[in-house]
Amino acid sequence: MGCRFKSYAGYKRLARLYEYQAKEILSRSGIRIPKGFVINSLEELESKLDDLEPPVVLKAQVWLTGRKDLNGIRFANTKDEVIREAKDLLGIKLKKFTVEKVLIEERITIKQECFAGLMIDDGRKRPLLIFSAAGGTGIEERGGRTILIDPSTGLEKHKVVGLLKEGGLTGKTLIRTADLVSKLYPIMKRYDARSLEVNPIAITDEGIAIALDCHMAIDDYAVYRHPELKIEVAREFDRPPTELERIAYKVESKDYRGTFYFFQVVEDVPADGAYIGFHGAGGGGSMFSMDAVTAQGYQIANFCDTSGNPPASKVYRAARIILSQPNISGYFASGSGVASQEQVQSARGLVKAFLEENLSIPAVIRLGGNMEEEAVRILKTYLTDIPAPVEGYGKDDPPDLCALRLKELIRPGTIHQVSRFTLPEPFPYRFETFSGLISIDHQRCRNCQSRGCIEACRYQILKLEDQRPVLAQDPAAVKKGRCPECLACELFCRFHEQDAIRIILPIPGLEAYRQRLSDGDHHRQG
C-alpha cells in the first residue's frame, strides 16, 4: 500500500513571508529594491497612485512560485492601466490563494539576471550559499555554484567575490552584486530564516544590483522571537491557513511541551458520511494509518499529529479541535509506536475531550508505546456512558485491523454535529497551571472516602490539609509547568469519588468559532 499522505505527515516547520515583507527586510539592511508600495484595496491605490509613475509591474502577494504563468504578475504603462490591472488582481483566485494584497513597483530595465540563495543544509548542518549568474525560473535544474558557510566565521566577503568571479561576473557588476549577496547571511541569522532567496538579482545598464524578488521562510521554532513579522501560522501550506488551523497553531505556539500539528485536508466537510477525523502520533505510523482508513473507503478530513510526549492537556485540546469539524462520521487515532511517549497522557486527554463533547460518533484509538495497556484500560473504564462506542488498541494491533473495526462501528447516516464550546465554571478553591486552572469544591470533598486524588497525582501537586486537597507546591512553580496537567486527579475524582475537581483548559478562539458553526455560518477560512 502506498503512502498517499506523505505530504501531511512530513509537514514543513516553516513560516513563509510574503514578497513585500521580505523585500522590506532587505531594504532595511541596505539592499536596493524597486520603488513601490503595497495595496489591499482600490481606495488605498487611489491614495498612493501619484507616488509612483508608470511603467510599473503589479504582483499578486501569494505564497506561490511561477506567478507570471498564473497571470499573477501584470504590467501597466499608464495610471488607468494600473487601476484596471489592480482591480482585476484583487480578489482573484490563484490556485488555492485569494489575492488580498498587490505589490506595485517601478519597472526595472534589466541587463542581466542572477540568482542568490541561502538555505540550511540539514545533512551537513550548516548554511549553504548558492549562486548562479543566470537567474529566473528553472534554477533548481540548472544548478549553481555553492559555498558551505562556517557559522563561527560567517559568510566572508572574499569568498563571495571568488564565487561570483567563478560565475562569470566582472568589474562593477561583480563588486556591487557581491556587496548585495554578502548582506544576505546577516539577514538570515538575524531573522532565524531557514531559507532566503533573491531571484532575480537584476543588473542594470549602470551595473547596479537590485533585488527584484525575494522568498524568505522563518524557522517556526524561532517565530516567537519575531513578533514584528506578525506571523499567524508558522507552517508552509499551499494555501492560506483556515480559522481552525489558526486556533490550533495558537495552542501549539503557546505550549512547548510536545508537538501539536493540525491541517485541514477538507475545510467544509460534506455531509455524506465519507470523512473521518484523524489523530496521529509520529509521521511514519500516521501515514500508514491514514492509508488504512482510505482502504476502507473513507476520506481524511484532517491530519493531526501529537507526538514528542505532549501532556494530556495538549492532547485534549487537539481532540476538541478535531471534533470542531462538522459532518465527520468517525474518529481514528493511530500512529507510530513511540516508546518514549506515555500513552496514558494521550488516553486521559482523549477521555476528557470525549466526555465534554458527549461523543456521538464512534472512535477507534490505537495507542502504541509506553504504558499502552494502562492507556487502553483508561479508555475502556471511563468511556462507557457516552452515546458512541470508543475502542482502544495497542501497537500489536495493525492499523488495517483498527480501520476495519472503525468501519464496522460507524452507523450509516450518523455524522458529527458541532455544538457550542463553553468552558465550565471553576469551583471556589483554585490555582493556575501552565495552560489552565485546577479548581476544587471542598464542600463535596467532605463526603470523600478515599482521598484518592492525592495518590492519583504522582507529581505531588496536591496534599491534604484538614482532610481537603490543596496545592502542595509553590504556586509560581506550578504555573510555570511543575504541574504537567496529566488530568489524573480530575478523572479519579469524577469516576471514583465526589466529582469535586474540575480542570479548565481554555482554547482561545474556539468558543466563538463553534458558536458560528452552530448558528449555521460555514464561511470560516481566514
Do 120 and 100 belong together in one domain?
no
CA pair distance 148, 130, nearest whole angstrom: 9
Output the furthest CA–CA distance in the chain (Å, rounded): 89
C-alpha cell of 65? 512560485
**Dist. CA 395–CA 202, nearest whole Å:** 56
The DSSP-derived string for 400-424 is HHHHHHHHHHPPTT---------PP
Report pLDDT digits (tens) over 353-375. Answer: 999 999 999 999 999 888 999 99
DSSP strand pairing (369-370 vs 145-148) = unpaired
Q: pLDDT tens digits for 169-181?
A: 999 999 999 999 9
List Cβ neighbours of 113 (8 Å cut-off, separation of 6 or more).
134, 135, 136, 200, 201, 202, 203, 212
State phi, psi for 112 to the nearest 5 degrees.
-150, 145
Q: Are residues 161 and 225 in the same domain?
A: yes
Q: Are residues 131 and 210 in the same domain?
A: yes
Sole residue written with cell 568571479:
165
Residue range(s) defining the domain that contains residue 182: 112-229
Do residues 141 and 216 share a domain?
yes
| C-alpha cell, 296 | 476502507
Question: Among residues 438, 424, 427, which one has the least CA distance to residue 484?
Answer: 438
What local confidence, expressed as pLDDT, does residue 9 receive?
54
Q: Which triple of cell numbers denotes residue 214? A: 525575494
pLDDT at residue 139, rounded to an integer: 60
Pair (182, 331) in one structural domain: no
Name every residue whose Cβ is closer than 8 Å to that of residue 334 and which is 6 or more positions away in sequence.
279, 280, 281, 285, 286, 289, 292, 364, 365, 366, 399, 402, 403
CATH number, position 354? 3.40.50.261
CATH of the domain at 127: 3.30.470.20
C-alpha 287 chain-centroid distance: 18
pLDDT at 13: 61
Identify the bridge partners of residue 139 per DSSP, sorted by sequence position.
none
Dist CA 97 CA 375 (whole Å): 42
483 and 443 in a common domain? yes
Same domain, 121 and 74: no
Residue 381 near residue 351, CB atoms below 8 Å: no
**In this predicted structure, what is the pLDDT of residue 51?**
94
Q: Is 206 exposed, middle or buried (0-12, 13-18, 19+ CB in 10 A)?
A: exposed
Domain match, 364 and 379 both: yes
232 and 243 Cβ atoms separated by less than 8 Å: no
Instruction: Give yes or no: residues 263 and 367 share one domain.
Output: yes
Angle between helix 243-253 and 312-322 (nearest 10): 180
Same domain, 258 and 352: yes
Q: Measuring CA to CA, which residue among 33, 44, 39 is closest to residue 103?
A: 39
What is the 8-class DSSP label of residue 280? B
Nearest to 524 by CA among 199, 295, 212, 266: 266
Same domain, 352 and 468: no
Domain boundary among 198, 229, 260: 229
Q: Tell me whether residue 516 is in a domain.
A: no
**Buried/exposed 27-39: b ≥16 CB within 10 Å, e otherwise:** eeeebbbbebbbb
Residues of the chain under the 70 pLDDT cut: 1-13, 136-143, 336-339, 521-526
In this structure, are 96 and 149 located in the same domain? no
Whole-number Å distance between alpha carbons of 204 and 112: 7
Residues in contact with 57: Cβ distance below 8 Å, sequence separation at least 6, in sequence order: 34, 73, 74, 75, 76, 104, 105, 106, 107
Q: Which helix (H) or strand (E) holds 455?
A: helix 452-456
Beta bridge partners of 104: 37, 58
Do the domain assignments include residue 372? Answer: yes
- Strand (E) or helix (H) holding 39: strand 36-39
Question: Considering its fold, how many domains does the chain have in total?
Answer: 4
